[in-house]
Structure 1
Amino acid sequence: MASLQKVRCREIFLKGGTPTMSPACLDDFLPVQQSESQTKSTSVFEADTTEAVADPVKFFRENGAQFSVYSFDLDRRVLGLVKAREGVDIRKKPFLFQAQRETAEELLLIPFDVLPAVTDALTESLSEVKNIFLHSTGRCGSTLMCKAMDVMSQVQAVSEPDIFTLIFEHAWARDVPLTSEEEAEAVMLLKHSITLLNYCFLQNDPTRTIICYKPRSVAVFVADLMQRAVPDAKNIFLYRDLPGYYDSTIQLIFSGRYWLYFFATTLRLDVMFLSVMLKSIPRMFRYVYALPRMATCPVRRGMPFLFVTFWIIHMQQACELIQDDSDNFFRACLSYEQLLEHKEQIILKVLEKLDVPTDNDASEMRAVFDVGSQEGTAMQSGRKKGDKISSSWVGSWERNFFLTALKHFDGDVDEPDFVMPNNMVMD
């Protein structure tokens, strides 16, 4: 049976820093005691503070605008949705899952076997909704592009609901592939989750029927499952060349301190640090580090190896999607460099290619480029300190490293400045 309870975020996520980037999990919350008679509990699944929801269809029709999909628990087979603190517009935050986690006041748990009845009851009211998925390599301006698209009067752009990350971890970060039954279940879970998210956002802004979801970069590995869940969705791929991606990532990791990066890599301290870090970081990074195809690559397996491999397999996955299903992947491909050069003009062209009407004043969109899209978060650029932007850390050692890794990988993506086959062309 569906249930509802008062919750609060665990303190570790309210202090900023790396923990805030942890994938969404239902154990991110603590139950809130309503009376002294209730037993104090450290788990939302063991608390006696829950309230049964006898008719989840009716409940969601009446309250769905307040609850957005957050995470799921495969062992308990429940989907969790949260209600944010009143007055907080979580959709406007740089990362939806962080805003949901930090401001959650109530947690709604819906069993998997109840989901079809709930989403079927909402389908008719969502007939005009069209979805877009904005995939990316990461560190390429995807949050910026998401914010720029959100300026459009017809578009709601939502940055990083974490359901897609969790599906990736379920599907890819494991020793064996999903069975056909597990894959079908993952598609259905995506379908139900996207339907519930669509309902929530449409109820709050009913005139903006085009809803774009910008997931974390690993979602490109489950883009085919997402497409099966929403067959009419249109896809965008935003990417960055390897030197730019690497430089942005490594400066973020080392907080813009080149001396720390230099000593860590020169003395090979990054190898030791990474071996410790891999025990606590999300499974998606452990998967990349243990990728069989790169097991014999003749480079040191430290920080550079992790992030260079991360970029290569993202780009390769995008290429393979284009080769396997060119009708859906990707309606529009563009690079970070194109985004910065052409700004609102290339976004308008992308939307035009996706058959999205664009009747806004482009100056509203251009204004978005003057504001740091990830400012105040753990993912804020390490290159920018005040008004100063540090120079690139990519030198001859890094470039040789890139070429060695790419040669060993031996895929379609064979150059650090690889250009996607269906990249946008500006007039």
Structure 2
Amino acid sequence: MTSGTKTTRSRKVEEEEATESTTEQATKKPAAKKAPAKAPAKAKAAPKTAAKKATSDDDEELDDDVELDEADIDDTADEATDDDAEDAPAAAAAKKGDGEDDDEEEDGATKPAFSEPLPTGAIVISSSDEDDVPVYSTQITGATADPVKDYLKQIGKVPLLNAAEEVELAMRIEAGLFAEEKLSHMSAAEKSSQLGLDLQWVARDGQRAKSHLLGANLRLVVSLAKRYTGRGMQFLDLIQEGNLGLIRAVEKFDYTKGFKFSTYATWWIRQAITRAMADQARTIRIPVHMVEVINKLARVQRQMLQDLGREPTPEELSRELDMTPEKVIEVQKYGREPISLHTPLGEDGDSEFGDLIEDTEAVVPADAVGFTMLQRQLESLLDSLSEREAGVIRMRFGLGDGQPKTLDQIGDTFGVTRERIRQIESKTMAKLRHPSRSQSLRDYLE
């Protein structure tokens, strides 16, 4: 048995040597170039390295290996038989591995090297042609550009609860709240006792139950938030506000009433969403109680529009809402939404809404021309007066600097009393009222 096995081993080694020699002559590649194999092909490179080592050893080393194999086979004849049966597939696998390694070396310049997946689910890809200066880019697997879709996918992993599970979680939450209340009145030494440690565990268990109940009902918030889209708030903002209402519902849920948690939480979620819309949806904040009146007026107005087939009058709305017509008009003004001056108009959007709004502070060209002509007429009339009379009129009415002065100030300027200035003013105004002078100015009074 031993000699037969030795003969088989020798023939097999000779066949491997002949195969390796033929492969090396065909590829004409030195063995040194095949040493740096790719990282993923380490498992495949091992048989090839062993085969090369076998071809490089001399006959004496091969004989030693055969003798070692014979010693092992002498110990157990059954193991020797199994080894002979497995040698043929191993040799074929080694040959196949040699061919695959050559293909990998040829394509290694174009294929990127993929590393092992990161803990976050990302894969790092080397995008550099030079090994000494690698440039990496990260691709996150499973991420999408839609945050709503990612959120829905995340909350969908938590299974829904039945009534019994809701009651169990509610009881654990209640026990946790009771434990937290007890711990708040305990000293540090009491908290370190066995009772304190037990209460701390119960409090933590209550927090875990609260998180579980919240996570299982996040889809309820999404279904309710969908009804309030398109009213001035983003969908994710509505969901977050609804989640705050859900937290409030978890804290105040009473499982002893016999109702399902979703029935109780719906009211709190809706209240949180509507309050947030009243505070944040409008450009100009309106108090919550007034928002409720505006919404009620809008509902009645829509109903009367369907019943009457026309827009209801303020008097008709006042009878339905039990308020005065003036109050109805005031509430309607509060409910109007402001519009941006940059709102595009027309099919092409080449104009804006602000282009149609008149600028009340802008100077009208006709008025500017009329004012200029009036100034010229006044200057021509003042030139027909004496220097003192013209000076008194200019200072008295502020024609020069726009600052009218008192009689005392004018008297100090001319070195006379205020009475004298009053007389000069009266005499000059009589001259200006004469039809020969005033007729040219009457046209500007119309």
Shorter-normalised TM-score: what interval?
A: under 0.3
Q: Which has the higher helix share?
A: 2
- By relative contact order (CA 8 Å, sep 6+), the higher-ranking structure is 1
TM-score by length of 2: 0.15
Comparing both structures, which one devotes a greater share of its residues to strand?
1
